[in-house]
Amino acid sequence: MMQQGGTSLDREAPALVLSAALLGENNARVHVLTEENGLVRGVVYGARSRAGSALWQPGNLVKTRFQARSAGGIVRLSGELLYGCGFRLLDAPLTLSMVQSVCVLADAALPEGEACPVLFARTVKLLSFLGFDPAVSEREGVPDVVLWECALLTELGFGLDLSACAVTGATTGLAYVSPKTGKAVSEDGAGEWKDRLLPLPSFLLSKKETGTPEDWLAGLRLTGHFLARDAFGQRHRPLPAARERLMDRVARLAGVPNDSGETEEG
């Protein structure tokens, strides 16, 4: 919680809007991500006004005021926009899916009230990149989202180990990840077990690589396996629908049929 030894709260800090849901006719229940207090759940009064609706959009960075009358009481949020990207994404459906997935994953997976300065900074950087030039992020954004998901797994205590082959100890030729341990495996180390391993796309090993839609899909499947098993499965919850929609969209780009048998062309 945001109280730190006192009986009331009144402070300001930058916060990323993760979600906003109706609360009555004019208000909203809003979840934000902060550096010092991690996930914070609060109420915005008058959020349904034109200005409020534009301000409390997922993906926006808001200079937020947090107020509560007592420890453990309802946190009231208000603020002003520092950076917004939603209006730029109307003609960028893939980028919009990325932003929605990142916000929903952070909202659903992170514990409330725990500081996460590294992940907060990384999330601000990612969403700023995605929203700055959607034409670029449509072509290059998915690898950054997969890398962010790796950072989320690390924050939750389920980080992948891609430093060396778990079988041979080699640091080159890494091509797979063990679905059991989350450790990298080289082509030589995989042997006859390669069909049981998860492909490791090259962009996770080199910042110079951006990959193809097929690589993006492999990356999303890789992180999705561990998110589904460790971050959500242990709480008996499925991956959020927004994350599934992102993977379906990338699958269509890669020409891989989704559950309905459709591809990008069909």
Nearest-5° Cα angle at 37, 31 to 40: 15
Q: Can you say whether the dihedral through the CA atoms of 164, 167, 173, 176 is positive or negative?
A: negative
> What are the tens digits of pLDDT across the range 45-79?
988 887 888 899 999 999 999 998 876 678 999 99
- What would the two tokens of residue 170 be? 């080699």
Domain locations in the chain?
9-84, 87-162+200-255
Give the residue ranges of the chain where pLDDT is below 50.
1, 3-7, 259-266
| pLDDT given at position 7 | 46
* Distance (Å) of CA 130 to CA 39, 84, 89, 136, 143: 21, 11, 9, 8, 11
| pLDDT given at position 175 | 98
Burial of 24 (0-12, 13-18, 19+ CB in 10 A): exposed
Decide: helix, strand or coil at residue 33: strand
Homologous superfamily in CATH for domain 9-84? Nucleic acid-binding proteins (2.40.50.140)
Nearest-5° Cα angle at 51, 48 to 57: 75
Question: Are the C-beta atoms of 184 and 162 separated by less than 8 Å?
Answer: yes
Helix (H) and strand (E) counts in the chain:
7, 8
* Distance (Å) of CA 41 to CA 67, 77, 137, 184, 237: 12, 9, 29, 37, 20
- Nearest-10 Cα torsion for 118, 123, 124, 130: 150
DSSP letter at 261?
Answer: S
pTM score above 0.85:
yes
| pLDDT given at position 76 | 95
